Amino acid sequence: MTSLHADEAFLDHYQFTHDPFAARVPGFKFFPAQRKPVLGQLHHLARYSQLVLVVTGPEGSGKTLLRQALVASTNKQAVHNVVVSAQGAADPATLMRHIAQGLNTQQTDRAALLAQVGQLALTGQEVYLLIDDAEELSEAALEALLVLAQGNADGRPHVFLFADSDVIPRLDALAGADEVFHVIELQPYAEDETREYLALRLEGAAQGIELLSDEQVELIHDRSGGWPGEINRVARDVLIDAMASRRGAAKGGGFSFSLPKKHLLALAVIGVGVAAALLMQGRSDSPEAPAPQAQLPLGANERPQQQAGTPAQPQPEAEVGADGRPAIEFAGSNQPLPLPLVGQSQPVIRQPLAQAAGETDGEANVELPEPVASTPVTVPPTASQPAPTPAPTTPAPAPQPPQPVAQQPKPVEQPKPAAAPAPAARPAPAGPAQANGWYATQTKSHYTLQVLGTSTESAARSFVSQNGAQYRYFKKMHQGKPLFVITYGSFASRDAAQAAVKTLPAKVQAGKPWPKTFASVTQEMAN
């Protein structure tokens, strides 16, 4: 199973709208436990201290997220933030060039940079210089930062370093006996805080903490040590292991009753629908024997039916499509805190389009009986005359009475086959059926972009008609209700599909389109 299919199986099994334990997720709130006091301390020291502020912790301890929260919570009218990642600026020259760009100046020497800091101070703005991954800086770059942090008569920036703890002895060696920096060491979460953090992550993906047992929460806390990055990794592994064990039990022991209640309800609805379809099909088969209205003997009626052929069956209809937008908030506060996320957003983000396992489109091929299927027209030939009367003494008068009766359907019933095709001329459902046919013709390993979904077909059609021929939609069932999923294009690879996202209109990109294979699309249509 590829990683993409594994991700899709993970999301579908737990009915997640996105991976709750990805590094960057939509709508994630800043978790205040063990971090909000540090955030307040940073703001306080930046105002009243002249020291370089160093935030340390192991990988996955939340340093980058804390730096984002610090930037997001500053007053933009009073603070000018310059953020630099040391991963691309480890040497002094590159570091100073990035700082100069952040200060909107071309000169990179210390005097010019401090002069620009002083100019901003005259406008009422302090300068916050935030260096992420500071452990990557060379010794010369660290020394240049310490000198810059001392400032001069023109101005002085507030320097923040976010780094692993191994940067501390290096700073000690550069500072000597002088006190030039202050260290704030991040602490791991306690078990109760780990539980609250997991609940926050799961709620963002439309689930709750009840998805995990007390034993699983304890296991996650012990294995992760309470560090948020490790909590994400271990929690995902625990849920995937639980999913695999349930599926293995289902394969080994037949039908498993450990399915979610939503799935069991969907299976029950499907069973009722299939039973109703079979019942309707049985009813549609039974009227075909007495269908002719010519009041002729059964033997004479069966023979023309075999010659005339069976009536055309109506074709099954297929239909198809929702959207959403993330908002990043500061948990525990009434004011939103839009954290500036770094790097690409998680590609497997999805709006609530998770399919329920075992659900189907609920369509049935029901043969509609045609009472007068043009068979009376073949009745007048003399082949029907011997059958009605066993007495040979009156052969001529016997066929005469049925003839007026046989002619009655001619003016009344003969036009009905022409009027009956009215359902076949329905133009509205033809679009989805043709769209489903288009998906079936695509190469199963190729990709399309899932744009959004909607519960109404009219909305899906309107979107497609307004945005062009590259947009199509198909129908699937979600929690027992039809969902119309809109897609864009056909691409030979996932990278090509991902690159096409940037070419879409801004309103479409806002819905976070994500690639999926045509194999998964056809499976969703078939379920």
pLDDT, position 432 = 53
Cβ within 8 Å of residue 94, ≥6 positions away: 88
Q: What is the pLDDT of residues 470-492, one digit of tens each?
A: 999 988 887 678 888 899 999 99
DSSP symbol at 188: P
309-324 residues labelled b (16+ CB within 10 A) or e (exposed):
eebeeeeeebbbbbbb
Alpha-carbon torsion, ordered 215, 216, 220, 222, to 10 deg: 20
pLDDT, position 426 = 38
The backbone torsions φ and ψ at residue 174, rounded to the nearest 5 degrees and listed phi first, read -75, -35
For residue 162, the SS3 value is strand
**Are β-strands 447-454 and 514-517 bridged in parallel, bridged antiparallel, or unpaired?**
antiparallel
Q: What is the distance between the alpha carbons of residues 79 and 97, in angstroms, rounded to a whole number?
A: 20
Strand boundaries in 168-261, DSSP class E: 181-185
Alpha-carbon torsion, ordered 31, 37, 38, 43, to 10 deg: 110
pTM of the model: 0.49
Q: What is the distance between the alpha carbons of residues 142 and 167, in angstroms, rounded to a whole number?
A: 10
Domain 318-362+432-527 class? alpha beta
Which CATH homologous superfamily contains domain 36-185?
P-loop containing nucleotide triphosphate hydrolases (3.40.50.300)
Q: What is the distance between the alpha carbons of residues 366 and 420, in angstroms, rounded to a whole number?
A: 15
Q: What is the distance between the alpha carbons of residues 264 and 257, in angstroms, rounded to a whole number?
A: 8
How far from the centroid of its chain's Cα atoms is residue 252's Cα?
A: 31
pLDDT, position 523 = 83
pLDDT, position 283 = 58
pLDDT, position 406 = 43
Residue stretches of the chain with pLDDT short of 70: 1-6, 249-263, 282-435, 479
pLDDT, position 255 = 47
pLDDT, position 89 = 86
The residue extents of the domains of the chain are 3-28+190-252, 36-185, 318-362+432-527
For residue 463, the SS3 value is helix
